[in-house]
Amino acid sequence: MNIFLLQALVFLAAFLIFQVELILGKVILPGFGGGNLVWGISVVFYQALLFLGYLYIHWINRHFRFQSVRKWQMVLLVFSLLFLPLNVDSLQNPTYQWSPVVEIVWMLAGAVGVMFLVLSSISVYSQIHLTTTSLKEKGNPYILFAASNLGAFAALLGYPLIWEPYFTIPEQILCWEIGYVLVVLLFGVVQIRVVSQPDERPLGSKMSSCSSSQILKWLLLAAAPSAMFLAVTNEITINVAPVPLLWVIPLAIYLLTLVLSFKKRPFCPKFLQDRFYLFLSLGIVLFVFKATGNNPVEYGIHLLIALRSTHYWSIIVIEPIILLILCFVFCLVCHYHLNLSKPEDRGQLTTYYIVLSAGGFVGGFIVNWIVPLVFDGTVELMISILIGMAGFIWVSPLRKKVSLQGVIIVSAILAVLLIWVIALNHFGPAAGLMIALFAGSALLGLYYSLKQDARLYAGSLVGIILIVPFLDQLSSENHALYKKRNYYGSYTVFEKGGFRKMKHGPTLHGAQFLDKGRQLEPLTYYHKQSPSGEVLNQRLVPVSKVGLVGLGVGSLAAYAKDGDQYDVFELDPQVGDIAQTYFSYLPDIKGKLRIVYGDARVSLRKEPDNLYDALFIDVFNGGSIPVHLMTVEAIREYLRVLKPDGIMCFHITNTFLDLGPVLNSNARKLGLMSAIKFSGVSKSPPEEEATTWVLVGRDSDRFRSLLADLEWESFKPNTVLPWTDDYSSLWPTFRR
């Protein structure tokens, strides 16, 4: 019974830690444009607090007897109740006076910092408490670490399945606050029921009592899985949406591997250990595919088209599945070796956890705070594998000298990478798939042959990371004019096939003819036969005063005529710089142009009522979709700035998600009309791209005439629940 009380305490504390991460992450998301940066910054902040919590327990355990420690810990928990209820309002109103990193950290610290710090100390404290008792489990306090990870795993699994679909944000926060009070009460019960021996005090050792090699090994093996799950999270959320459903999957895998590695009988099958380097090689080849301008998803779709198959979904999910499998195997092997190297001396218990938490923070800090500022591309996956290789250099016995054969293999790897890019230039895109398959297979074999030497493996990764930024210079067909990354994503401007294009991550966000005589023709999703092009070009309804949410390269601004006023609401100033420097839609606009930077909903609140004839919300066509810009509350705010017969056009072209039914449900909730229109491809992309738009507005003669003249279609009945600021669920929107 007593061990159960300890397990219940650490389980509930860990559950609340990860529950509040998801709740507050969702609360803070709209204020920063719904970008995936919010989750990454938040996770690193929480990892820092976790480290401080472990450090605090380590310090007091070194300087005080355990009886004093337990009294002080009880006082601290009771004191933390003064910070309830959570100050959620401050999270919803950023000032934008600082960088996103600084402001998000500051807001989270004020809202939940003290309570999170207290919760983060409970797991290690309880393990120390267990070692002072007469319970038979005292010799293996790490079983409480497994219970803690199980609580975290339960929070992550339950949030998208139970809490997010069935509870509003205020209800979730109330339940969390009740849970926090229960933790304080349960802590008091544990102090009464689980008796410690009066003469027992596990004196915390100094850091110097552990060898520097041991500490470095713990640090690297803890940092690598942290970096890996965040790298995989970035890859998935950048391509789909920054929402809890997709946040939790990599993090749940990370925590599951901790549970499996630190349970009483650690789980890490030999067949996974033997094939560890094979999984790593698959991840590296996938990275190289993208770095050389080859999108495996596009190749797969073209192959299905050639085979006259329409099962595109099977191709789309392959990359995320590979990444998640890689994440599981990588984290499991690293955590398994981390468990094998745990100290036998209980005096080193707190030192061990300090280094583990520091490693988690370092991995997250590198991936989400440093890499976006240092590298132009998404190299997080390679960085995380490199950190892991550095850790395994201290785990596995190494040869004294690097073999000549290994050096030759590393040289061959780099040579294949260079030949791959040059061959694509020589043979052209038509042979791209065959070249990619041969080169990818060669890299896979070469990398797998390096499995006996972690140093050479790490050296080859360093070589690839250094070479990748220069690959564009070798490509005459796909030459990058501009490549930059910030906390909102990676931007690339390049010329190909007579067009200048801009990509945000892997998603095309606009193109323009290089031919000066045709530079003002709108292309891609905005061509004249597209739904948006018809509305703006044929002018069957007044569209002289237009608001654009999302800028891209400024394609929609090409429809402006003399006397028109176009107001653009763009989150990232870097997009504005790209559009005005590398594309001519904005510099050559015929009407008046105003660009407002910041989150669109926050900016629109400063605009007067009844201002616009039309609003074009163009932020959902790929990459991270900002959910908060399509909720019922968002549409209600759009209605305020629209004229009584004004219209809203939502661009919902998206590879993964079908957002039409959601917008239809939202419109019905507000008593509005809605319709949808799809435009296929009659010319070669990017001159025309297949695109889907949804029209929303009040019931009026103008709205009905627009539907009739341009042949928009009514929605079929659906059961999708409306999305609100307190409720949204991606499950119903995934394309089958």
pLDDT digits (tens, 9 = 90+) for 37-61: 677 788 888 888 888 888 888 787 7
C-alpha–C-alpha distance, residues 201 and 209, integer Å: 18
Residue 516 burial class via C-beta count within 10 angstroms: exposed 0-12, middle 13-18, buried 19 and up: exposed
Least confident of 8-17, 249-258, 442-451: 442-451
Q: Which residues pair with 697 in a beta bridge?
A: 647, 673
- In this structure, are residues 626 and 522 in contact, taking their beta carbons and an 8 Å threshold? no
Please tell me the predicted confidence (pLDDT) of residue 607. 94
- In this structure, are residues 194 and 144 in contact, taking their beta carbons and an 8 Å threshold? no
C-alpha–C-alpha distance, residues 355 and 394, integer Å: 15
**591, two tokens:** 């009407």
Residues 6+ away with beta carbon under 8 Å from 697: 642, 645, 646, 647, 648, 672, 673, 703
Q: Using alpha carbons, list the distances in angstroms from residue 251 to 186, 222, 356, 631, 655.
A: 27, 14, 16, 27, 24
Residue that wins the pLDDT comparison between 546 and 90: 546
C-alpha–C-alpha distance, residues 580 and 493, integer Å: 12
pLDDT band per the 50, 70, 90 thresholds, residue 728: confident
Cis peptide before 320 (omega within 30 of 0): no
Query: Is the pLDDT reported for residue 476 higher than 60?
Result: no
Tell the residue number behind the tokens 């709108």, with chain if given: 522
Please tell me the predicted confidence (pLDDT) of residue 306. 58
Model confidence pTM above 0.75: no
- In this structure, are residues 624 and 589 in contact, taking their beta carbons and an 8 Å threshold? no
CATH 3.40.50.150 corresponds to the domain 505-733: yes
pLDDT (tens digit per residue) in 701-719: 878 888 888 889 888 888 8
pLDDT band per the 50, 70, 90 thresholds, residue 426: low
Least confident of 58-67, 307-316, 623-632, 670-679: 307-316
Average pLDDT over residues 536-545: 86
DSSP state for residue 163 in the 8-state scheme:
I
Query: Is the pLDDT reported for residue 206 higher than 60?
Result: no
pLDDT band per the 50, 70, 90 thresholds, residue 87: confident
Amino acid at 576: G
Average pLDDT over residues 593-598: 91
What stretch of H or E contains 49?
helix 37-63
Is 697 in a helix, a strand, or coil? Answer: strand
Tell the residue number behind the tokens 């800090």, with chain if given: 365
Average pLDDT over residues 388-393: 80
Please tell me the predicted confidence (pLDDT) of residue 706. 81
Task: Name the range with the highest mean pLDDT among 314-328, 408-422, 601-615.
Answer: 601-615
Please tell me the predicted confidence (pLDDT) of residue 13. 93
**487, two tokens:** 């906390």
C-alpha–C-alpha distance, residues 349 and 141, integer Å: 9
Closest Cα partner for 363 from 44, 594, 595, 657? 44
Q: Which residues pair with 713 in a beta bridge?
A: 676
Amino acid at 148: S
Task: Name the range with the highest mean pLDDT among 224-228, 263-267, 347-351, 540-544.
Answer: 224-228
- In this structure, are residues 424 and 292 in contact, taking their beta carbons and an 8 Å threshold? yes
Task: Name the range with the highest mean pLDDT among 112-126, 427-441, 676-690.
Answer: 112-126
Architecture of domain 1-202: Up-down Bundle (1.20)
- In this structure, are residues 439 and 454 in contact, taking their beta carbons and an 8 Å threshold? no
pLDDT (tens digit per residue) in 134-191: 777 777 777 787 788 888 888 888 887 788 778 888 889 999 999 999 999 999 898 8
What's the mean per-residue pLDDT of the chain?
Answer: 81
Task: Name the range with the highest mean pLDDT among 196-205, 396-405, 616-625.
Answer: 616-625
- In this structure, are residues 367 and 234 in contact, taking their beta carbons and an 8 Å threshold? yes
C-alpha–C-alpha distance, residues 621 and 692, integer Å: 9
Query: Is the pLDDT reported for residue 203 higher than 50?
Result: no
Average pLDDT over residues 602-620: 92
Query: Is the pLDDT reported for residue 599 higher than 60?
Result: yes
Is 626 in a helix, a strand, or coil? Answer: coil
Least confident of 114-118, 245-249, 327-331: 245-249
Average pLDDT over residues 457-476: 70
Please tell me the predicted confidence (pLDDT) of residue 178. 95
Which sequence spans correspond to the domains of the chain?
A: 1-202, 505-733
Query: Is the pLDDT reported for residue 611 higher than 80?
Result: yes
- In this structure, are residues 9 and 192 in contact, taking their beta carbons and an 8 Å threshold? no
Least confident of 223-227, 345-349, 411-415: 345-349
Query: Is the pLDDT reported for residue 240 higher than 60?
Result: no
pLDDT band per the 50, 70, 90 thresholds, residue 12: very high
Least confident of 48-57, 88-97, 293-302: 293-302
Residue that wins the pLDDT comparison between 511 and 267: 511
Sheet holding 479-486, edge to edge: 479-486, 489-496, 499-504, 507-513
Residue 591 burial class via C-beta count within 10 angstroms: exposed 0-12, middle 13-18, buried 19 and up: middle
Percent composition of the chain: helix, strand, coil (DSSP 3-state, to 5): 60, 10, 30
Query: Among residues of the chain, what percentage have pLDDT more than 70?
Result: 85
Query: Is the pLDDT reported for residue 374 higher than 70?
Result: yes
- In this structure, are residues 156 and 65 in contact, taking their beta carbons and an 8 Å threshold? no
Q: Could you give the dihedral angle defined by the CA atoms of residues 396, 399, 402 and 404, in that order, rounded to the nearest 10 degrees?
A: -120
Closest Cα partner for 583 from 524, 651, 502? 502
| Same-fold call for 1-202 versus 505-733 | no
Q: Using alpha carbons, list the distances in angstroms from residue 204 to 58, 269, 519, 538.
A: 6, 34, 70, 76
Please tell me the predicted confidence (pLDDT) of residue 312. 53
Average pLDDT over residues 10-20: 91
